[in-house]
Amino acid sequence: MKNKETVSGATTGKPQRQAEYFEDHRALQVILARVESTRDLDLLIPLLEELHRLLQMHFAREEAADGLQGIVAETAPHQLGHLQELMDQHDGFLTMLISLKQDIRSCLDGPTAKVFSDVQTLCDRLQTHEESETKLLTKALYTDLGESG
């Protein structure tokens, strides 16, 4: 991530940092499950905003000078290449999230708004139609019936 932030806890010891990564990954699993299961675009935007905020914090923690690289360099230096590949994916996820939020807003303001507007038009016209029939029927039964007999 290009815009590195100073995250509180960055100066804490290695065991605590390891615990933070596991805790971050658990929190991300929870929000990802919520994102995956929603089909409501209005709900999806705040969920994606929460995911975006969590990821920015989490990626900054992983990429910090004393972040994952220090731990892996010490415990499994042969994995540093793989770790770098994973770190290189971070910006792509954030870009995708921004693009997705824009797509959802476009849908809500465009096709989705039109569908709801058309539904409202249908309901209004049906309401008027049924009211007219009710009036006509009432008049026919209680007024015109007497005249025709």
Build a one-symbol-per-residue string for 107-136: x at contacts with Fe ion by CB under 5 A, - elsewhere: ------------------------------
Q: How far is the CB of 85 from Fe ion (least distance, A)?
A: 11
Shorter beta-carbon distance to Fe ion: residue 53 or 114: 53
Q: Helix (H, G, I), strand (E, B), or coil: what is residue 77?
A: helix
Among 95, 135, 116, CA closest to 42: 116
29-68: which residues touch Fe ion (CB under 5 A)?
Answer: 62
Shorter beta-carbon distance to Fe ion: residue 28 or 107: 28
Contact (Cβ atoms closer than 8 angstroms) between residue 68 and residue 90: no
Residues recorded for the chain: 149
Q: How far is the CB of 108 from Fe ion (least distance, A)?
A: 30
Q: Which two tokens stand for residue 2?
A: 């290009």
Shorter beta-carbon distance to Fe ion: residue 21 or 45: 21
Q: Which residue is nearest to Fe ion (CB)?
A: 62
Q: How far is the CB of 36 from Fe ion (least distance, A)?
A: 18
Q: How far is the CB of 11 from Fe ion (least distance, A)?
A: 20
Shorter beta-carbon distance to Fe ion: residue 32 or 137: 32
Dist. CA 5–CA 8, nearest whole Å: 9
Q: Which two tokens stand for residue 39?
A: 């089909």
Cβ neighbours around 51 below 10 Å, total: 20
Contact (Cβ atoms closer than 8 angstroms) between residue 48 and residue 108: no
Interface positions with Fe ion (CB under 5 A): 62
